[in-house]
Structure 1
Amino acid sequence: MFLKEHYWFFESVLPNKFCDEVVKLAKQRKLNLGNIGKYTDLKRKLNKKEIKDLKKKRNSNIVFMNDKFLYDEICPYITIANSAAKWNFDWDWCESIQFTEYKKGQHYGWHCDSLPEPSNSPDINFKGKIRKLSCIISLSDASDYKGGLLEFDPRDYDPTTEKPSSKILKCKHLQKRGSIVVFPSHVWHRVKPITQGIRHSLVIWCLGYPFK
């Protein structure tokens, strides 16, 4: 899919009060190590070898949130970005919102958020749908941490299987607290390792029926 815009951003649009409230709520809940791929649906705790393997690709702590005020505050920006970037994707539902904490040494390697097949969930809000838009909200300021830069690779294939791209897009627009970045879920991206401090963020995935 050809994209003129690989992401759309809004800098410092959410107030500090909102960011403070979200972090406080998340900290009251239990954060767990974020999973990927074959580890996502396991009904048991990972062993040491599996955790080591997982952390090579993804190392962050997360908790999911479904508080209505989060959707009310953020979704209008997703709608604006979808139109302004001229993606004009049809979507009608959002997954649970992921609160993510990255501490020193933590990161998330190259990945895309889109799923290989439409959801087979019996829930009517998910069944037959795919992830179309992803949204990241910064709850931290660049002064709170070092590293942790969000990067995009505009190529439409797994960057880990090919030579490094010379056209990596460095998204510095999330370095200001309360900033929002929206992008198509199939775009490859990563979060570079944190070298100092703590980085907090939210992630939302917007769902719709497959492209025709």
Structure 2
Amino acid sequence: MIRTHAIPDAFSPAECERLLAVVAEAPANDARLVGRQTDHNQRRASLVWVEDLDEVDWVMDRIVTLVAEANRTVFDFSLTEFAESAQVASYDADVGGHFDWHSDIGDGRLAGRRKLTMVVQLSDPASYEGGMLEIMPSGHVIAASNARGAAVLFPSYLLHRVTPITRGQRQSLTIWAHGPAFR
């Protein structure tokens, strides 16, 4: 059975604020211009890579702990590394922020090596409307918690999306755990 795994308090509200304060000082990249993605209707967001930030080693330490525990107790995938930086995505109502249905399986040299996706809600849910992370295992849609600091982990091959944001800004932290390609 395909599962998702929720961690209600993966990061505290204070830790979310601490990370967002550092992100606010960093230059952001338009997600439509990252990699091979050119469909401007697929995704509207800006990205900041955590590896480019100062004083956030604690974020990766937390990610490693959370992913290892979830993989051990829920998924049991063969994981070997985090081959990509974690990213903080910002979805803004002013520009129609969203990310349509997609999977994170990857392309190019990473094709099939992304095994687990973890998304952590950084924004206070009262600060925006819309922008729900929805995951579609087995033909039905599950809405991830939008509680500040909540994390959801799921196999990277599952379809998921961020619905259009209609007010404010939604920010989230995403990382992919890698391993040998699925067979």
TM-score under structure 2 length normalisation: 0.87
In the alignment, the residues of structure 2 paired with residue 61 and residue 98 of structure 1 have an alpha-carbon distance, to the nearest angstrom, of 10
Q: CA RMSD in A?
A: 2.1
Q: Which residue of 1 aligns with 2:143?
A: 170
Matched, 1:115 2:106: yes
Find 1:32's aligned residue among 14, 29, 34: 29
Q: Indicate the percent of aligned positions where both proteins have the same amino acid.
A: 28
Aligned-pair distance for 1:92?
1.9
**Residues paired across the two proteins, number:** 176
Structure 1 unaligned spans of 5+: 43-49, 120-127, 156-164
Q: Which residue of 2 aligns with 1:122?
A: none
In the alignment, the residues of structure 1 paired with residue 108 and residue 97 of structure 2 have an alpha-carbon distance, to the nearest angstrom, of 29
CA contact (8 A) 1:118 1:210 kept: no
Find 2:61's aligned residue among 69, 72, 79: 72
CA contact (8 A) 1:147 1:192 kept: yes
Matched, 1:102 2:91: yes
Q: Which residue of 1 aligns with 2:137?
A: 154
Residue pairs, 1:45-84, within 5 angstroms: 54-66=39-51, 67-84=56-73
CA contact (8 A) 1:154 1:187 kept: yes
Aligned-pair distance for 1:41?
5.0
CA contact (8 A) 2:134 2:162 kept: yes
Residue pairs, 1:15-30, within 5 angstroms: 15-30=12-27
Query: Which structure has the greater CA radius of gyration?
Result: 1
Aligned-pair distance for 1:170?
2.2
CA contact (8 A) 2:42 2:100 kept: yes
Q: Once the two structures are superposed, what CA deviation does each residue of 1:73-120 show, in whole Å capped at 9, x if it has no partner?
A: 1221112222332x201112112011110110210000000125654x
TM-score under structure 1 length normalisation: 0.76
- Which amino acid is the alignment partner of residue 69 of structure 2? I
CA contact (8 A) 1:9 1:81 kept: no
| 3-state DSSP of counterpart to 2:41 | helix
Structure 2 unaligned spans of 5+: none
CA contact (8 A) 2:32 2:40 kept: no
